[in-house]
């Protein structure tokens, strides 16, 4: 991390552009390059364990993850015991667009956003990381409509066998039913549920399940899809937080196609797949990217190359990113190519085997040579006569 005085001197602040539970986001200018950046300033000092945990988790995750649809962390520094995270600046969020267009966004634009959101999440999932807080304000959009996921403070690596998750996840409106009932062994599918909620909100301008409590959230979900799966019912009944409560009951279910009759069949199909009550039945990001929703009109054949050009143009126009990613590439090339102990030991064993084979071949050759000489022939005859 950079020295605080030196780090702060590099930037000129234009003022506050965002605020959350744990910090503020300032729009600033990097004086040397004139590049605009976003600096996240955590409100509490490092003495606050929760703030420190969230901040350091975000730093760790974003240093590990580099992808065109994930926001780039440029540098980190401390000042007066507070952490400052410097990010590339993005023009606005999906939430800003929904506030500007309260009736929702055009399906063609939503499709472009969905493709990029899924690509970003797919990269996280391939690297065994769950984002756990997908929502409109955490989807950044550039002026050229490049989309990037941000806010990795609640992201974490996927739990191994027997491990459980214990800390807070996801804003309530985007929480999957397994989270709401208190399942501690959830997985990547929670991010896909949130994507389904996000897609519906982008298309309609309204939150899909705007519950004001966990029970009310479950009511909204059950009203749309009917009763929960058996496993989630059992977890709910055993959860001490719900003692004396019953799962909401709904007489008349209102499915998505009835609730949103003007949406296309492909949009409804995508949403229903994301919002399957059984997490095991929700497709992966990779599977979703092959959905007919993205195949229509040759979208998946044309859009990725268009997007690559936009991403490259933005990168070329950002000296801080060029410097950052160039340095990282150089560091990677300088690293010695260490082979694992397992690999080196197996190679050593293989070399020993080859040596042994060579010795045996050499020994056999010598025997043949000796047997082909007159002395060798006599020795063989003498040996045969003794048998």
**Does 4-89 match 93-306 in CATH topology?**
no
Question: By the 8 A CB rule, do 146 and 310 touch?
Answer: yes
365, pLDDT greater than 60 = no
**For the purposes of burial, counting CB atoms within 10 Å of the CB of 366, is it exposed (0-12), middle (13-18) or buried (19 or more)?**
exposed
Question: Could you identify the residue written with the tokens 């970003």?
Answer: 120
Q: Can you tell me the distance from the alpha carbon of 246 to that of 372, in angstroms, rounded to the nearest whole number?
A: 95
User: 257 with 271: CB under 8 angstroms?
Assistant: no
| 185 belongs to an annotated ligand binding site | no
Q: How far is 58 from 81, CA to CA, in rounded Å? A: 17
Alpha carbon distance 126, 344 (integer Å): 27
Tell me the pLDDT tens digit for each residue of 35-55: 999 999 887 655 577 777 888
pTM value? 0.82
Note the pLDDT tens digit of each residue in 233-289: 999 999 999 999 999 999 999 999 999 999 999 999 999 999 999 999 999 999 999
Q: What pLDDT sits at residue 80?
A: 79
| Average of per-residue pLDDT across 177-191 | 94
Pick the CATH number of 93-306 from 1.10.510.10, 3.50.50.100, 3.30.565.10, 3.20.20.70: 1.10.510.10
| Cβ neighbours for 122, distance < 8 A, ≥ 6 positions apart | 284, 285, 286, 289
Give the pLDDT band (50/70/90) at residue 201: very high
133 as an active site residue: the answer is yes
Q: Residue 368: its pLDDT value, please? A: 42
What architecture is the 4-89 domain classified under in CATH? 2-Layer Sandwich (3.30)
151 assigned to a ligand binding site:
yes
C-alpha dist (Å) from residue 385 to 372, 378, 379, 380: 18, 11, 10, 9
pLDDT the model gives residue 169: 62
Q: Domain limits of the chain?
A: 4-89, 93-306
Do residues 158 and 129 lie in contact, with contact meaning Cβ atoms separated by under 8 Å? yes
Both tokens assigned to 28: 């600033």
Give the tens place of pLDDT for each residue, 74-118. 999 988 778 899 999 999 999 999 999 999 999 999 999 999 999
pLDDT of residue 216: 96
CB 10 within 8 A of CB 26: no
Residue from 133, 183, 191, 214 carrying the catalytic annotation? 133
Q: Is 280 annotated as a binding residue?
A: no
Q: What pLDDT score was predicted for residue 171? A: 86
């Amino acid at each position: 991390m950079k020295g605080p005085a030196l780090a702060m001197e590099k930037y000129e602040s234009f003022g506050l552009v965002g605020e959350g539970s744990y910090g503020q986001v300032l729009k600033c200018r990097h004086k040397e390059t004139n590049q605009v950046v976003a600096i996240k300033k955590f409100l509490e000092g490092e003495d606050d364990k929760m703030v420190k945990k969230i901040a350091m988790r975000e730093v760790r995750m974003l240093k590990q993850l580099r992808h065109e649809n994930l926001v780039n962390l440029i540098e980190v520094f401390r000042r007066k015991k507070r952490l400052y995270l410097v990010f590339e600046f993005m023009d606005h969020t999906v939430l800003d667009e929904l506030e500007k267009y309260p009736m929702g966004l055009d399906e063609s634009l939503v499709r472009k956003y969905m493709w990029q959101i899924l690509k970003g999440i797919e990269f996280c999932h391939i690297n065994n990381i769950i984002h756990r807080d997908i929502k409109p304000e955490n989807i950044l959009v550039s002026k050229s409509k490049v989309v990037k996921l941000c806010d990795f403070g609640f992201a974490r690596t996927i739990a191994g066998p027997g491990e459980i998750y214990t800390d807070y996840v996801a804003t309530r409106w985007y929480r999957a039913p397994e989270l709401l009932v208190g399942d501690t062994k959830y997985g990547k599918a929670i991010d896909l549920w949130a994507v389904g909620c996000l897609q519906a909100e982008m298309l309609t301008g309204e939150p899909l399940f705007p519950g004001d409590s966990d029970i009310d959230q479950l009511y909204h979900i059950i009203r749309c899809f009917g009763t929960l799966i058996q496993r989630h019912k059992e977890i709910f009944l055993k959860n001490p937080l719900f003692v004396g409560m019953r799962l909401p009951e709904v007489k008349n279910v209102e499915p998505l196609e009835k609730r949103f009759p003007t949406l296309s069949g492909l949009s409804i199909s995508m949403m229903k797949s994301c919002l399957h009550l059984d997490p095991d039945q929700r497709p992966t990001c990779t599977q979703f990217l092959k959905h007919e929703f993205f195949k229509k009109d040759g979208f998946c054949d044309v859009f990725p190359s268009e997007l690559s050009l936009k991403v490259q143009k933005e990168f070329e126009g950002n000296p801080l990113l060029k410097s950052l990613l160039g340095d990282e590439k150089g560091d990677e090339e300088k690293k010695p190519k260490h082979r694992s102990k397992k690999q080196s030991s197996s190679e050593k064993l293989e070399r020993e085997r080859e040596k042994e084979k060579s010795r045996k071949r050499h020994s056999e050759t010598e025997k043949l040579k000796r047997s082909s000489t007159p002395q060798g022939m006599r020795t063989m005859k003498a040996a045969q006569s003794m048998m």
